[in-house]
Amino acid sequence: MQNLLGYGGESYVKNGVAAVCLLDPSTHAGSTYRLGYEAKRYYELAEAFTKALGLPFSYEPQPPADFLRNVLAAGAEPAYMKCVFDSYTDLTNGKDIPADEIFDNFHAITGRQPKTIAQFAMKHAASFKY
């Protein structure tokens, strides 16, 4: 969900699950945590944001090359964005990647429940309202 705000990531590492893992490295050493708890297609995200914020949102797919050009022009980190571009290209071309896989380990890792898309939209409403 944080990617909907942008690809900076620094504050999410400092304030998110990564911080929990860093507080107890012996427990988490060598572990990989997948943190997908709600899988939605972009069209479904638009519907969820419309419902949560009371504004019309829509998804209009763009060519992957346009996405890469725009994020690089905006100053995004090139190596990371190339990985995002490759995934976006695979999805656009119908390659089956496990983007819709969900997990139920958030509470076990953090001690709290994961946020839903609707909760995220409401929390960051100022970033999405137009």
Kindly list the distances between the CA atom of residue 125 and the CA atoms of 37, 38, 68, 90, 118, in Å, as whole numbers in the listed order.
20, 19, 26, 30, 10
Share of the chain above pLDDT 70, in %: 85
Domain 2-128 sits in CATH 3.40.50.720: yes
The phi, psi pair for 43, rounded to 5°, reads -60, -40
Transcribe 50-83 into DSSP letters: HHHHSS--------HHHHHHHHHHTT--HHHHHH
- Provide the pLDDT for residue 123: 93
pLDDT, one tens digit per residue, over 14-60 is 555 666 677 888 888 888 777 778 888 888 999 999 999 999 999 88
Share of the chain above pLDDT 90, in %: 28
Token pair for 125? 């409403």
What b/e sequence results for 18-51 when a residue is b if at least 16 CB atoms lie within 10 Å of its CB, and e otherwise? eeebeeeeeebeeeeeeeebbeeeeeebbbbbee
- Rounded CA gap, 67 and 89, in Å? 10
- Rounded CA gap, 16 and 10, in Å? 10
- Provide the pLDDT for residue 99: 62
Please state the pTM of the whole predicted model: 0.69
Average pLDDT over residues 116-121: 92
Domain assignments of the chain as residue spans, ordered by start = 2-128
* Residue 13 pLDDT > 60: no
